[in-house]
Amino acid sequence: MPAEAIFMAGKIGFVFFLVLNLAGVLGWVERKQSALMQDRIGANRAPIFGITAIGLFHPLADAIKAFTKEDFIPARAHKLFHTLAPFIALVPALTAFAVIPFGDTLTIGGETTQLVVADLDVGVLFVFAIMSLATFGVVLAGWSSYNNYSMLGGLRASAQMLSYEIVMGLTLVGVFMVYGSLQLTEIARAQGEYFVFGGVNTWIPKWGILTQPLAFFLFLTAAVAESKRLPFDVAEAESELVAGYFTEYSGMKFLMFWMAEFVEIVVISALVATLFLGGWQIPWLHPDGLHVPFTAIVVGLPSLVVSMMGVGAFLMKVFVLIWLQMTIRWTLPRFRYDQIMRLGWKMILPLALVNVVLTGFVVLLLNR
Amino acid sequence: MQQLFYVFGSLAVASGLLMVLQRNPITAAMNLVVTMFSLAALFVLLSAHFIAVIQLLVYAGAIMVLFIFVIMLLNLQDDELRPRGRNFIHLVSVAVVLFAMAQLWQLLSRTPAIPLAPVDEAYGTTGEMGMLLFSDYLFPFEIVSILILAAIVGAVVLAKRRLD
């Protein structure tokens, strides 16, 4: 089946191109946004033939710098694990993208494909399973560096990531109950339907943020905590632990930890967009064209245009969520370690359980 | 498919052996993670996708991170990890394991090959698993839940006594 193979290669290529480039650019975006928020100018150098493009070439300069730097391994470090750790941190974050749909079906030359690399039945669970492996990268980095700061960072990270993984999973149970599936394409597709009250179509799409508002906020909080960024960045708290678990890293390996963090931001944004913001869905836009609300009028659009608009909408949602996370990062001060644990176990976890019970009652009542 | 089985099967056995033979506790734990990962891959080859993901999520992810967390907290020194000399019990246990493996080998070589029947499309999916758990296996499922609840309560009691 050559058509299928071409589609698959195209999808894998697109996902890799998108995620890796986005991760690189995000490094610049973060510096620029923090500068804007703190009334500074920020990265504006790195010219190519005198063109600076508001500093957009900085990621390129960073990469060249990291590649040419000395790759230093501390004398008493565990060499194998010290080298392996950044890979274990980065690869799972990239793999998680395989199950996230970035668009509806695409039809070219009579061949149709779903715009997702692997449309797994276990969907969200696969993302969690793969992301849980990324914890080893952080923990091993902390242990193998033979440095007390790294060790403390690794310990904090392992406890924090373990706690918030459980919380993240529980907050999503309500979503699974509403849409009756773990498969991300099915969850996204189900969000294209409209709320119907007493036989009246309201034309309000069933997005996750409307059916599960509590889960949305809980999941977003837990996801930010899982990515170990401010206000949850005790694992790399600069003011107490130098750089936490990656204190002893230099050159490209340092950059890999840094990239892993940005890829994780993209994964979280894509996951939230798919689960709570309708994925590729645009309200009132269906495969056959734009349905005008409260009427039976359909403005017909070619299917290729609809597919492309879906991909665009998905990217738009991802960008908005990335912006939101960056803003949170540069707005809030760091929590204390015990506060993070209390938030996870004593506030978000019970609320998630309440959400599951409430959702159960509502689903039961509506399905009678 | 069969080649993949040999790849992951031998990976599981090799990392399992390494886990036992390694003296460094973190290396041993990481080898156990590789074993768990290979087992998950074997589940995928058996079309049991849900079990495979749960294997990764619970064992390779959560439980092994806890293991490593504890090992890092203990911070064992090199002289504590030196072998303590081999005694009679070690010899007997190795002999028993070798005997059991020989028996297993004999048994397997006598078993005729069974042709594999193609599995249903829904086999191993989350929905199918849920249906089985909450219908045919409801009683064992509930019993296991109570067992786990008892373990949680026990853990809380033990931790609380140390704190007070």
Query: Between chains, do B73 and A155 touch, taking CB under 8 Å as contact?
Result: yes
Q: Is the pTM of this model over 0.80?
A: yes
Chain B positions in Cβ-Cβ contact with residue A141 (cut-off 8 Å): none
Q: Which of A69, A88, A93 is nearest to A249 (CA)?
A: A69
Q: Reduced to 3 states, what is the DSSP secondary structure of residue A106?
A: strand
Q: What is the pLDDT of residue B147?
A: 96
Instruction: Grade residue B90 by pLDDT with cuts at 50, 70 and 90.
Output: confident
Q: At A33, is the pLDDT very low, low, confident or very high (cuts 50, 70, 90)?
A: confident
Largest CA distance in chain B: 61
ipTM confidence score: 0.82
A81-90, A255-264, A280-289, range with the lowest pLDDT: A280-289
Q: Percentage of chain A with pLDDT > 70? A: 100
Query: Where is mean pLDDT largest: A116-125, A179-188, A266-275?
Result: A266-275
The domains located in chain B, with CATH, are 2-109 (1.20.120.1200)
CA A281, A183, A360 angle in degrees (round to 5)? 95
Helices (H), B22-137: 25-45, 49-54, 64-74, 88-110, 126-134
Contact assignment for A129 to B72 by CB distance below 8 Å: no
pLDDT digits (tens, 9 = 90+) for A265-293: 899 899 999 989 888 888 888 777 777 77
For A78, phi then psi, to 5°, come to -85, 105
Distance from CA of A121 to the nearest CA of B (A): 6
How many Å apart are CA A289 and CA A298, to the nearest integer? 6
> For the stretch A235-266, what's the b/e string if a residue is b when 16 or more beta carbons lie within 10 angstroms of its beta carbon?
bbbeeebebbbbbbbeebbbbbbbbbbbbbbb
Indicate yes or no: CB of B49 within 8 angstroms of CB of A122. Answer: yes
Task: Report pLDDT digits (tens) over B120-151.
Answer: 777 778 888 888 888 899 999 999 999 999 99
Q: State yes or no: pLDDT of B96 exceeds 90.
A: yes
Q: Which chain A residue lies closest to B70 (C-alpha atoms)?
A: A155
Of A122, A144, A162, the CB nearest to B62: A162
Q: Which distant-in-sequence residues (6+ apart) come within 8 Å of B68 by Cβ? A: A136, A139, A143, A158, B26, B29, B30
Q: pLDDT at position A161, please?
A: 85
The pLDDT assigned to A210 comes to 84
Region A183-200: mean pLDDT is 82
CA-nearest residue of chain A to B73? A155
Burial of A58 (0-12, 13-18, 19+ CB in 10 A): buried
Closest A-chain CA to B37: A133
Q: Which residues of B touch A136 (CB under 8 A)?
A: 30, 33, 64-65, 68
Q: Where are the domains of chain A?
A: 71-367
Per residue in B6-47, pLDDT tens? 999 999 999 999 988 888 888 888 899 999 999 999 988 888
Contacts of A128 in chain B (CB under 8 A): 57, 61
Rounded-to-integer distance, Cα A221 and Cα B41, Å: 32
B62-78 residue pLDDT tens:
888 888 888 888 877 76
Among B30, B37, B69, beta carbon nearest to A158: B69
For B123, which DSSP code? T
